[in-house]
Amino acid sequence: MSALLPLATLASSLITAAVIFMLPEQAVRTRTALNLGAALVKLVLVLWMARGLVAGETYAVEFPVVPGLGFVLHVDELGLTFAALSSILWLFTTMYAIGYLEGSPNRRRFFGFFSLCVASTIGISLAGNLFTLLIFYEVLTLSTYPLVAHRGTPQALAAATVYLRYTLTAGLVLMVGMVALHVVAGDLRFGQQETLARLADGQEALLIGLFWVLLLGFGVKAALVPLHGWLPRAMVAPAPVSALLHAVAVVKAGAFGIVRLVYDIYGIGFSAALGVLDGLVVIASVTIVYGSVRALAQQELKPRLAFSTVSQVSYIVLGIGLFGPLGTIAALAHLLHQGLMKVTLFFCAGNYAEELGIHRIDELDGVGRRMPLSSLAFTIGALGMIGMPPVAGFITKWTLGLGAVQADMPWVIAVLIASTLLNAAYFLPILNRLWFRRGPAQGIGTWPDERPPSRFETSAWLLVPALATALLSLLAGMLAGLPFSPLQWATRVVQQTYQVIPL
């Protein structure tokens, strides 16, 4: 048993944050080197732990905070899934942010809190009990506030305030729920779901109530309808922040919390026995359809992507709610898939805004000719969201469909079809404009705010991350059969942790 690796993983971004706060604002090169170096180190550490976990090692840290309550870091397959996602995407998002914010003020503050934000996602993923999870969950709230408010404009500050109202209230609800659960059942470690099932006699009503209280707490960050109001407004943040918020940090932390709640606290069998999963499926279905419908109505690119996130993250919740191994696999795989695809889309949206000043969808005519590589990446991401093979999103939807059949909930397939049609309805027009409409690139009109042309279609710092994540989402779909693909890893989590053999 090793305590060093989880602590080192956590420290890699915590120390980075502290050092960045101490560096002067002008130390751009040092900061860049530090950011990228730490991101690489963390990625290596996480992969190392994944290798060790497969080889049967255990990694855990534990110390008591007050009598009967411990700070616990415990590495398991599920946590490592989220940790891997955040460390891979941190690397690309950091690269992107370096390019995106070049020459703008307050970069020290930005990158300091950026690192803190990633440190808290790592903490969330490695947390071994609810108390530790809550600690990092709230640190995440605090460290994202300065990122959302970064621009300092009235809109940014208003959006950040709304964000806080939602997340702090949710954090409070979560805390009350967790303390209540603690009073009922003591310090629950993840992976000991039998404890609650054994307690259940005569306390079902209380436990069901607490489940919904905790879900309410996690549901705000996971942007479940009707708790999603903060997410579209937070779009005023700079593009790398949106990418981080939507793909890795905030919404995923909420979804991950729900995964922990169902699988590790209540246990999937017990949750099903309590009858809370049906409610979860209904909420997820409503969110999926509602998010898509609202996305369709957006005329600007980033808000459309934001509502698309509302919809897509609920696939994870849907997969959890489908009581069965395939649903679980789909949920976990989508945690990774959605992250890769959504981050690609936000990178590209940021590229369009930076390079050409494009914010509205109707300004995208003919961009494919001016910025072919970004548009290619965007197309891959969008097709993945629709669920087109061979991009990763197809794997999710296929497995979810199978899971729905397995769970004997055929109406969920109808939800999937409806959502796919809606996805197509809001993404295909964008692709049509990108590639098939004639625009300023062919001499019709002008771009809203074009930057002077550079060597590539835009800065390499902005282009490379978008291409890399697009490539990864393509590979996650095409190579889904290989051992360390998201699908296979998710299957492994389900087999190892929950002793279920899929199909």
Partner 1 sequence: MNPTSFHVLWLLCAPPALGLLTLVRPPRHGALVLLAGLPLPLVALWLLLGLDTGPLAGQLALGPLLLHWRLDGLAALLWLLTMVLLLASALYAAGYARAAPLDARAYAWLWPLLGGLATGLGLIWIAADLLLLYAGLELMGLCAVGMLLLPGSVAALTAGLRYLLFALVGSLTWLLGIALLLGAWGRLDLAGLAAVAQPDPVTAIAVALLASGLLLKASIFPLHGWLVPVHGSAWTPVSAIHGALVVKASFFILLLLWRLLLPDAIAGALALGALGSLAVLWGGVQAWRAAGLKELVAWSTVGQLGYLMLAFPLLAGTGAAVAALAWQATWLQLAGHALAKSAMFMAAGNLLLATGATRLEGLTGTSRRLPLSLLTFGLAAVTLMGLPPSAGFTAKWLWLQASLAAGQWAWVAVLGLGTLLSAAYVFRVLRCSFVEDAPEPVLRGLPLGMELVALALALAAIGLGLAAAWPLALLPPVSVP
Q: Which residues bind partner 1 (CB under 8 A)?
A: 21, 63-67, 69, 71, 105-106, 108-109, 131, 134-136, 138-139, 141-142, 145-146, 149-153, 156-157, 160-161, 164, 168-169, 171-172, 175-176, 179-180, 182-183
Nearer of residues 21 and 456 to partner 1, judged by Cβ: 21
User: Which one-letter amino acid corresponds to residue 329?
Assistant: I
Nearest approach in angstroms of CB 167 to partner 1 is 10
Nearest approach, Cβ of residue 149 and partner 1 (Å): 5
Nearer to partner 1, 55 or 66 (CB): 66
Do 61 and 7 form a contact (C-beta atoms < 8 A)? yes
The amino acid at 338:
Q
Instruction: Round to whole Å and give the CA distance between 323 and 301.
Output: 35
Largest CA distance in the chain: 74
Q: What is the three-class DSSP state of 55?
A: coil
Smallest distance from partner 1 to CB 153, Å: 7
Q: How far apart are CA 48 and CA 97, in angstroms?
A: 26
Q: Based on CB atoms, which residue is closest to partner 1, 120 or 379?
A: 120
Q: Which is nearer to partner 1, 186 or 453 (CB)?
A: 186
At residue 115, what are phi and psi to the nearest 5 degrees?
Answer: -65, -40
Distance, CA of 409 to chain centre: 26
Cβ closer to partner 1: 64 or 410?
Answer: 64
DSSP H or E stretch at residue 362: none
Provide the residue type at 487 as one letter. L
CA distance to 181, 258, 269, per residue, from 274 (Å): 16, 16, 9
Nearer to partner 1, 156 or 235 (CB): 156
Distance CA 90, CA 340 (A): 11
Q: Shortest gap between Cβ of 13 and partner 1 (angstroms)?
A: 15
- In the bound state with partner 1, the residue whose beta carbon lies nearer, of 156 and 431, is 156
Question: What does the alpha-carbon distance between residue 377 and residue 345 come to, in Å, rounded to a whole number?
Answer: 8
Question: Nearest approach, Cβ of 150 to partner 1 (angstroms)?
Answer: 8
Residues written for the chain: 503
Residues near 385 by Cβ (< 8 Å), separated by ≥ 6?
Answer: 308, 312, 341, 342, 345, 393, 423, 427
Tokens read off for 288: 């999926």
Measured from the CB atom, the residue of 40 and 162 that comes closer to partner 1 is 162
Smallest gap from Cβ 70 to partner 1, in A, equals 9
Tell me how far, at minimum, the Cβ of 119 lies from partner 1, in Å. 12
C-beta of 66: minimal distance to partner 1 in Å?
5
How far, in Å, CA of 430 to CA of 367, rounded? 10
Q: Which is nearer to partner 1, 64 or 445 (CB)?
A: 64
Residue 62 or residue 300: which is nearer to partner 1 going by CB?
62
Cβ 183 to partner 1, closest distance in Å?
Answer: 5
CB of 138 to partner 1, least distance (A): 5
Q: Name the token pair of 406.
A: 């397995």
Cβ distance 122 to 83 under 8 Å? Answer: yes
Question: Distance between CA atoms of 49 and 91, rounded to whole angstroms?
Answer: 18
User: Which of 252, 263, 271, 266 has the alpha carbon at shortest distance from 316?
Assistant: 252
H helices of 222-300, in order, are: 230-233, 239-243, 250-259, 268-274, 276-297
